[in-house]
């Protein structure tokens, strides 16, 4: 996996609170990383920051899934 500007832009938007970017960043972690430390290292943030962001982004993702389930 190579670091790219698209991923950096996604992470920047996620940190700013963009809901779609938060969900994308969380799914990037879930699908492409084994550890929080690996995610943090790849994106150049501290492991503690990554852990806090990921917990918040997970909540955003789960709320989105619940809202989608309510539509059906």
Q: Any residues with CB less than 8 A from the CB of 8 and at least 6 apart, and which?
A: 43
Task: List per-residue pLDDT tens for the chain, 72 residues long.
Answer: 445 677 888 999 999 999 999 999 999 999 999 999 999 999 999 999 999 999 999 999 999 999 998 887
Q: What span, in angstroms and rounded, lies between the C-alpha atoms of 5 and 71?
A: 34
Q: Any residues with CB less than 8 A from the CB of 27 and at least 6 apart, and which?
A: 61
What is this structure's pTM?
Answer: 0.86
Rounded to the nearest 10°, the torsion over CA 58, 17, 6, 29 is: -10
């Amino acid at each position: 996996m190579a670091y790219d500007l698209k991923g950096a832009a996604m992470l920047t938007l996620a940190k700013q609170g963009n809901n779609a970017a938060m969900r994308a960043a969380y799914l990037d972690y879930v699908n492409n990383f084994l550890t929080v430390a690996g995610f943090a290292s790849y994106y150049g943030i501290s492991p503690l920051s990554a852990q806090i962001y990921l917990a918040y982004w997970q909540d955003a993702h789960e709320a989105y899934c619940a809202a989608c389930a309510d539509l059906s």
